[in-house]
Amino acid sequence: MPERGKESDTAMTNPHHKPEPVHPSPRRAKSRWWSAGLAGVTGLALTTTVGIAATPAADAVGPAPTSADRQHNEGKNDNKEEKGKTPEGTPVPCNTDALIAAITLANARGGAVLDLAKDCTYLLTTDIDGAGLPAITTPITLNGGKHTTIERAAATDQFRILTVNTGGDLTLNKLTITGGQTAPGAPGGGILVNPGGELTAKHSEFVRNIATFSNGGGIANLGTTTVKDSTVSRNTAAAGGGIFNSGLLTGEEVQFTDNGVTGFGGGISTQGGTTEVRESTFIRNRALGGAGVGDSGGAHTTIARSTFTNNSASALGGGIFIDGQLILREATITNNNAPTQGGGVVIQDIAGESSAVIEDTKISNNTTAGGGGGIINVFAPLVLRDSTIEGNQADTGGGLLNLFNSTSTLFNTAVVKNIAVTDGGGIFNDPTGMVILNSFTGTVVIKNRPNNCVDVPGCPG
């Protein structure tokens, strides 16, 4: 068996080296081994407590920056960010203990930028207060590269990969987070962002993480999270298979694919938070309701220039389920399915806090065996502007089903070629509801089967 120092050397000289799991001593396995060693220490010296020599871990972080250093480097980092480059940091060898030690020291010294090894899997084997790595409590950047992965070893206890606590500001660049699995009831299979914590992930992947009987398979955000140019795929949870949000979430150019939940929000579940998604795709996600996005609890959700396709709900809302406030712009909702109702979009207002505005959007070829192939509106005020509802199928209300004191107002919107098995091929309006076509703005309801409208003033039957 190689000596510990030689193992690190081998990992650095062999770029395809995948280290064997390091089995900690019983003392190190205790969940708070690292915090006790930091209490009251201002100049931290790493010891063999973390299982490696002091010099490599200390070098991985380097000396704490002075105020002059921060001012000198601030402009440089800003320029690099403007050019799309990641800030340069100090290398961490392909060794799990080295990564644990580097994060521990970075927290103690007020933050760091750490460059992880390329073609390396940091395999986590020890539960540190519910995560495989120390909780982030300061500004820390983890730069990955080609094939840089942080993974929980399959045969170990259940824990997530990372936790970001209050005051923590974690940035991930070019990293894969995979294999995280929380204990039953604990959120955030991959990463948990607690209130007061921040996460920014760029060019990264969150794959095959599990929140067991809880929320947020890939990420559970209770603080502030931004995800850009990234993939969130094959994660599972009770709600929010990809991401669960009750804080502030921004997603840009994110692919949400093949995530699954037993509840609501296969791709994203947002409850009482604010979510803004731009230029993203939701494909083949699965849920009880809202297979792409499930919004509830008075949440505020804005989705722009995004696509929902081939998502499947086992009950309602094949693409989107909203029980909050929705703004949907320049989106495509197509080929989604829900057997009960709302093949494309479900909008409901149970607590009197919901509304929806849909603009420049195409809702097409969605299906349900119940009501509302394209859209079902229950209790809520809905505005459709400059949009198309086409080729959707349902038992009742092939294009739009408007129910129970709901008001749906259409401006310059086309409801065409939708099909209902029973009635209301284009629009079915419950007698207690109201549909306002505003035909003078260019709204048309034509070529639907077996008829265009039921109980809609100004609409040809």
Instruction: Tell me the pLDDT tens digit for each residue of 366-420.
Output: 999 999 999 999 999 999 999 999 999 999 999 999 998 899 999 999 999 999 9
Q: Are 227 and 252 in contact (CB under 8 A)?
A: yes
Distance CA 78, CA 88 (A): 12
Name the H helices within 121-225. Answer: none
Tokens 């380097």 belong to 62
Q: How far apart are CA 326 and CA 277, in angstroms?
A: 11
Residue 1: how many other CB atoms lie within 10 Å:
6
**Which residue did the predictor score with more confidence, 18 or 149?**
149
The arithmetic mean of pLDDT across residues 270-297, rounded, is 96
Q: Write out the two tokens for 117.
A: 């090894």
Closest CA to 239 of 196, 299, 163, 195: 299
Angle between helices 54-61 and 96-109 (to 10 degrees): 50
Give the pLDDT confidence score for residue 454 in this predicted structure: 97
Q: Which amino acid is at 443?
A: T
Angle (CA) 426 427 433, round 5°: 175
pLDDT of amino acid 86: 57
Note whether 303 and 329 are within 8 A (CB): yes
Please tell me the number of Cα atoms within 13 Å of 356 on its side-chain side: 29
**Secondary structure (3-state) at 197:** coil
Q: Is the pLDDT of residue 127 over 80?
A: yes
Return d(Cα 290, Cα 244) in angstroms, integer: 13
Distance CA 124, CA 144 (A): 16
- Write down the residue that tokens 């990293």 correspond to: 175
List CB contacts of 227: < 8 A, sequence separation 6 or more. 200, 201, 204, 219, 243, 249, 250, 251, 252, 254
Q: Could you give the CA distance from residue 337 to residue 343 in angstroms, rounded to a whole number?
A: 5
Residue 408, beta-bridge partner list: 382, 435
C-alpha to C-alpha distances, 108 to 37, 132, 140, 203, 257, nearest whole angstrom: 11, 18, 11, 28, 38
d(CA 214, CA 416): 41
Question: Within the chain, how many helices (H) and strands (E) appear?
Answer: 6, 43
Alpha carbon 10 to its chain's center: 36
Residue 225, pLDDT > 70, answer yes
Please give the pLDDT value at position 72: 39
Q: What does the DSSP 8-state code read for residue 136? A: B
The whole-number pLDDT of residue 351 equals: 74
The pair phi, psi for residue 14, each rounded to 5°, is: -110, 105
Matching residue, tokens 């704490």: 64
Burial class (CB in 10 A: 0-12, 13-18, 19+), 25: exposed
pLDDT digits (tens, 9 = 90+) for 6-53: 333 333 333 344 443 333 333 333 332 223 222 332 222 222 223 333
Angle CA(437)–CA(434)–CA(368) in degrees, nearest 5? 85
Element containing residue 229 per DSSP (H, E) = strand 224-233
Strand partners, 278: 252, 304
Q: State the chain's mean pLDDT as an integer.
A: 85
CA 282 – CA 274 distance, rounded (Å)? 18
Q: How far apart are the first and last CA of the chain?
A: 82
Q: Which residues pair with 454 in a beta bridge?
A: 428
CA distance 146 to 135: 25
Once rounded to an integer, what is the mean pLDDT over residues 132-146?
Answer: 97
Task: Determine the average pLDDT of the residues in 294-306.
Answer: 93
The overall pTM is greater than 0.75: yes
- Say how many C-beta atoms besides its own lie within 10 A of residue 11's C-beta: 18
What percent of the chain has a predicted confidence (pLDDT) above 90? Answer: 78
pLDDT band at 69 (very low <50, low <70, confident <90, very high): very low
The pLDDT assigned to 282 comes to 98
